[in-house]
Chain A
Amino acid sequence: MKVPVVVSGVGMVTPLGVSTESSWKAFTAGSSGLRPVTLFDASRWPSGMGGEVDTAALEALFTPGEIARHDRATLLLFAAAREALQQAGLEKDSDERRRRTALLLGSTLGGMPSATAYLRQRETENDHSRIPITPLREMLVQHQAHETCRRWGFEGESLVVSDACTSGTNALGFGLRLLRRGDADVVVAGGFDPFSEFSFAGFHSLLTIAPDVPRPFDQDRKGLQLGEGAAVMILEREPDARARGAAPLGRILGYGESADAHHITRPDPTARGAVLAIRRALKDAAVDPDDIDHVNTHGTGTPTNDAMEAKAIREVFGDRATRLPVTSLKGTIGHSLGAAGAVEAAVTLLSLRDGLVPPTLHHENLAADCDGIDVVSGDARRGVFRHALSNSFGFGGSNAAIVLSAP
């Protein structure tokens, strides 16, 4: 029998707020985190929108020295990690437990803002030796993991997964497995990614950016908008958490993954891989499809993903799909890439806690190719949710799903 794994702390930074509760309040109120881009000059691009975290609010959490020393990506991650550790009561921990604390992170870009700034300087400065190189340390995706281990003294395994948009979900899933095997006593797991001109240009080059707002599963959907953020969860084996007096916020019951092997960027329209990942997660969680009360979707607002994901939901849940409330956060905060899966899992946990599913912003009319699913739109929806599923699907055909339950 698999040892139950609980979440004892959550930290989240999104375009809606720099804390879990401020973000959650805004998600359920139907607020939008999409605004004109301010972090770089977006005037050359067809769309100038994005989901940026409020810089002033983020920087207010740090000293001027920390802000000068660290890339934006590091600050996002630190803010989420600190909140999660504080909630779990582990921010100042014993040496013994820190030796057995692992860090598992998902990210696609790492410190890309630092890298982009360096490359820009390099293109205008003839003598490259005059350009400060310290910011380049922040560029490597594993650097943020190192800084986090260093700050809090973690000595267990430090692992960074870069699986495109499934990175955050995969980090949580790997953490679940690590705890079940007994390879760590505490796992700090999550995802982060900054808003970056590099990815902004990249998704524009792929013609996947919406001209206005993302409209997940809507008949008028034309693409996504990008965002940024971070979410971190503190995971422990339930007996260990209870023994030290921690109050579980919820459980991660199961995790499943697969690969499409179909196309480098487009999902497999048959949804074969997505269905496989979801079924594996359900099996790992030892729950049936009928036990799932809510699905937090990947729901990017692109024609291909949403049609594929709706098909997967119909295939797994059958007739129940028409009565199974699903939501997408990407209409609200954009697509935060490596952070997305972790943010969505965190919000799913809060949905279970409060019996409330946030609305899918900008969804008005269900598309014909997404028919047969029940998208929560307009107002947040109340209900009794015992188990929920959170999906993520990424470039390269990466598929991941995670099953969570109420405490």
Chain B
Amino acid sequence: MTFAPAITGIGWVRGRERPNGAFRVAEEDLSILDSRPQARRMSRVSKFALAAALQAIEKGGWKDGPGPHDDVGVLCASTHMSTSFGHEFHRGFTGKGKPTAGPIHFTNGCLNTVGSHISLDLGLTGFNHTLVGGFNAGLQAVGTAVKMMQEGPCRAMLCVAAEELSDILIETYRRFRLIPPMAPGEGAVALLIEAPPFSRRPLARITGTWSGHGPDIPRDPSGAGLERAVRKVCDPAKTTCYSACANGTDLDGVEAAAVKRLFPSIEKCLPKKEAGEGFAYTSLLQIAAPMLEGKTGTFVAASQDRLGDISAVSFEVSGEAS
């Protein structure tokens, strides 16, 4: 890939491990929103995303004014968005008597509201898109971001992935027998991505992206789909670290089979050990984590969703994440 945009800022709103095994965000980790009273009415996933976006902007040294910025956009990814607000809204209109469902819960339950809050807060008028997907959605969003920047007229964008946990979400995945072994996690990652020429020193250059659809698990346990995705974006012989999507489920065996064939010996980054399974959010963390850990080198992150969507992103990390 000759066009290699850069990651110039990273934000991470992190869920911390609780006694019940879930990784949840603490209110004190959202203090960056204290100066934004409108955040009080947002869903938790919107708060996570906005907080991460503001961190990325701040750490990326963003000095542009309030906007409008027609050449900067927002690309959000999530698997579930706000299940708590959606559920609350549903309770409001299914009760007896006159419906009490309020518009706040409806609008904040809409899938693209998360990105809209970021766009609104920062005056980003280039575009505002939301991708909905599974475990790979964050990586897929980066691939989409790179392609959009190749098209122009976008010179920079915030690529954000966010998830919130709710009782109904956890109950659902328990019933699908995925929790356990997954430990659910919530939070958000934001990457400030710029097209060359760069106004700031890049933290990393994105060198390859690919997304496709393969056989759904467990019909193909060989990992052939994941292997194909990785080979599309990098030369395994020149890659120094693999950032894994391993989450404690049977998908780990599929991934391990692919990794063994690709990289006989390679350093691995396991972001979900520190964040739990956060679906779209933790797939973007697969890119952020090596930088946040201070690693340098040539990386690849790959993820296969249970429904068969596969994404891979390769990137070169040149310096420490601030």
Pairwise interchain contact B127-A259, C-beta atoms closer than 8 A = yes
- Given the contacts A44-B98, A261-B123, A163 and B117 also touching, CB distance less than 8 Å: no
- B2 CB to nearest A CB, Å: 13
Cβ-defined contact, B147 with A181, below 8 A = yes
| Residue contact B129 to A396, C-beta cutoff 8 Å | no
Q: Is B140 an interface residue (CB 8 A)?
A: yes
* A residues near B122, Cβ cutoff 8 Å: 261
| Cβ-defined contact, A143 with B307, below 8 A | yes
* Interface pair B116/A397, CB less than 8 Å apart: yes
A-B contacts at CB below 8 angstroms, number: 188
Q: Would B102 and A116 count as touching, CB distance under 8 A?
A: no
The count of chain A contact residues (Cβ–Cβ below 8 Å) is: 64
Query: Which residues between 110 and 150 of chain A lie within 8 Å of chain B, taking CB atoms?
Result: 110, 116, 119-120, 122-123, 128-129, 133, 136, 140-143, 146, 149-150
| Contact in complex: B125, A258 (CB < 8 Å) | yes
Instruction: Tell me the minimal C-beta distance from A20 to chain B in angstroms.
Output: 26
A398 to B130 Cα, complex, angstroms: 10
CB nearest to A119 among chain B residues? B90
Q: Are B107 and A395 in contact (CB under 8 A)?
A: yes
Verify if A170 is at the interface (C-beta below 8 Å from B).
Answer: yes
Does B181 count as interface, using CB distance less than 8 angstroms? no
Task: Give complex CA distance A260, B125 in Å.
Answer: 6
Please pick, from A183, A259, A263, the residue contacting B128 in the complex, using a CB distance under 8 A.
A259
Binding site for B on A (CB under 8 A): 44-45, 103, 107-108, 110, 116, 119-120, 122-123, 128-129, 133, 136, 140-143, 146, 149-150, 154-164, 170, 174, 177-178, 181, 183, 197-198, 201-202, 204-206, 257-265, 272-273, 276, 280, 394-398
For residue B90, give the distance in angstroms from its CB to the closest CB of chain A. 5
- Contact A142:B212 (CB < 8 A) given known A119-B94, A163-B130: no
CB pair B89 A396 closer than 8 Å: no
Checking B90, B115, B144 against A198 with a beta-carbon cut-off of 8 angstroms, the contacting residue is B90
Other A-B contacts than A133-B175, A136-B172, A156-B212, 14 sampled, CB-CB below 8 A, are A107-B132, A110-B132, A119-B94, A198-B90, A205-B102, A258-B70, A259-B126, A261-B68, A264-B108, A264-B116, A395-B110, A395-B112, A396-B112, A396-B113
Q: What A residues does B108 contact at CB under 8 A?
A: 264
Known interface pairs A128-B171, A141-B132. Does A159 touch B99 (Cβ–Cβ under 8 Å)?
no
A258 to B154, CA, bound (A): 10
Q: Is the CB of A395 within 8 A of B113?
A: yes
Q: Determine whether B79 belongs to the interface, using a CB cutoff of 8 Å to chain A.
A: yes
Per-position binary interface string of chain B over residues 131-175, scored 1 when its CB falls under 8 Å from any chain A CB and 0 otherwise? 111100100100010011011010000000000000010011001
B308 to chain A, nearest CB (A): 6
> In the complex, are the beta carbons of B106 and A206 less than 8 A apart?
yes
Q: Are B216 and A150 in contact (CB under 8 A)?
A: yes
Bound together, the chains give a CA A108 to CA B176 distance in angstroms of: 24
Measured CB to CB, the closest approach of chain B to A378, in angstroms, equals: 36
* Complex Cα gap A170–B131 (Å): 11
A116 and B90 contacting across the interface, CB-CB below 8 Å:
yes
> Nearest-CB distance from B162 to chain A (Å)?
14
Give the contacting residue for B89; candidates A133, A183, A201; CB below 8 A. A201
- 21 A/B residue pairs, CB under 8 Å, sorted by A: A123-B94, A136-B172, A140-B80, A146-B213, A155-B214, A156-B213, A158-B212, A162-B130, A163-B129, A164-B112, A198-B90, A201-B106, A202-B103, A205-B106, A261-B119, A263-B120, A272-B125, A395-B110, A395-B112, A396-B110, A397-B119
Q: Complex: how many Å from CA A140 to CA B112?
A: 15
Question: A154 contacts which of B98, B99, B213 (Cβ < 8 Å)?
Answer: B213
> What is the 8 Å Cβ interface bit string for chain B, positions 209-223, against chain A (1 contact, 0 not)?
001111010000000
- Is B73's beta carbon under 8 Å from chain A? yes
- Give the residue of B119, B133, B140, B175 whose beta carbon is less than 8 angstroms from that of A259: B119
CA distance A269 to B140 in the complex (A): 34
> Which A residues lie within 8 Å of B80 (CB)?
140
A261 and B67 contact, Cβ closer than 8 Å, known pairs A133-B175, A146-B309, A162-B130: yes
Residues of A within 8 A of B168 (CB): 122
